[in-house]
Every structure is written in C-alpha cells, then in structure tokens.
Amino acid sequence: MTCTAEGKTAGPTAWHLPSFPNGTQVEAGRTWKKLDFESGQRTRVCLVNHTGEFLVMLDFHWYACAITSHSVLLWREYCSDVDAPNDPADIQFHLLDFGRLTPITDVESALAASNYRGRSGIHYNGDAVAKRSYPAAFPAGVTTIFVPDEFKRLGNVLVLADIGSSAGYDTPVHTAILDFDFQNQTVTSYPQDWFNKASLDFGYQWISRVWRDQKGRLCGEGVRIGEFRLDSTGQHMDRRFFGLQ
C-alpha cells in the first residue's frame, strides 16, 4: 500500500479530519470528530467509539493515513519553542490498532497531554503497534534510515517538515517534502527552494498538503498559495502546470 496518492492522506488537523478507508469519518462504530472544549478555547480532533467515549485525542497539525478500518498511521512534525531557527523538526509517527486502545477516562489529562505545543501532541490509552521519531535533518537526496518491522508494510509516506540547516542555505524556513520509503528503509528529501527562498509571509502562507499524481509527480497545495505541481527535481515549480514554458 501507499499513502502518497491524492486523497489517501488526511490532514492537517484540525482543518481536515482523518478518515477511514471508505473515505468517511465513520466506520465500524467509530467516528473522527472535531470537538471544542471550554467554549472553543481548546479544540481537539478525537476518535470516538459507539458509546461516545474518546479513544484518541489529537491537537493541531497531525496527518493520517488509514491502513484498515481498524488501524491508522498518524504523524506530525514538532518544533519546540526553544528550538533555534536552523534546528530541524522532530517527525513523530504512531501506528495504531484501535482494538488495542481502551477509552480515555481522564479527559483533563488527555487535553494536557495532547496540546500541540507539547512534545507528545497526542493521547490514547494502550500500546501503539509501533512508534518512531526521526530528526528531520535530511539533506537533499536519499538517506538510509532504521525502520521498525511494523512500518515496512506501509509503503511510502510524504511528510512536510522543516529540515533546518540541512537545506544548505540560510532562510527563515527550510520546508522540505520527505518521501519515507519504509519498505526500502530510505528517506528522499526535497527541499522546497521555490517556497523557502520566495518573498512570502511565512506563517500566514504555508504548504499544507502534498501528494503524487498518477504520473508520480509531486503536487500539493498551500494556505494562501493554492495548488501547485513540482518539476522533476521535486524542489521547483513545474511552469507547465501554470501554462508557462
């Protein structure tokens, strides 16, 4: 399987909710919901069972790829408030089997643990099938990584992350598309030069989602950027997408 096809990956939360293989937020008695706690002061995306109990609680900027009706791969990039501008993000993966989870009983603790500013950013009761974090310091090109056995059947996953000084230049941001090939235990890094070196309002404008089209070309969309397609380098815009030569 692969998580790189358009529509296969959902996110980022809370703007886009995770979904099941059927393409909806409801399956097998479980529902992905966006919920507001304390009159909207604390928003979370939650997986809720058929009796209304919470199984998973997420804050902002998580992505999800449904593996089966009962399992999901979740990931995000995390940067702490004390990280220097050139420090890479931390990429966090959680492979969950919903059958291994028990309902969350302490909602307040779950809200605290799932705060996006914290190192966890997620809360659930039970053991993940597998978890793995990677520093996003991947320079352009291919890097070999260690992959848990449970991840090797997942195929490829595209991750947006700040790779810091590994981009090889000094800019306010160092966004890259990282193609995690878990089966072959490699990561291919594509620093987004067209974005990083542009005169943009970073934070107000940002790349939000990426995928590969049917021809394998990297595509994406951004907040206040619109849709785009990249050329064969994976680092620059494909001018033909915009009708330019």
Instruction: Summarize pLDDT for 189-245 with one digit per residue, the tens.
Output: 999 999 999 999 998 999 999 999 999 999 999 999 999 999 999 999 998 766 555
The yes-or-no verdict on residue 42 having pLDDT over 80 is yes
Tell me the average pLDDT across 84-95.
92
Instruction: Give me the pLDDT at residue 84, please.
Output: 76
In three state form, how does the secondary structure of 175-202 look? EEEEEEECCCCEEEEEECHHHHCCCCCE
> What are the residue ranges spanned by the domains of the chain?
9-242
Distance of alpha carbon 52 from alpha carbon 177, whole angstroms: 37
239 φ/ψ angles, rounded to the nearest 5 degrees: -60, -25
- Buried/exposed 192-201: b ≥16 CB within 10 Å, e otherwise: bbebbeeebe
First to last CA, the chain: 35
Count the neighbouring beta carbons within 10 Å of the beta carbon of residue 221.
Answer: 13
Tell me the average pLDDT across 75-93.
88
Instruction: Give me the pLDDT at residue 53, please.
Output: 96
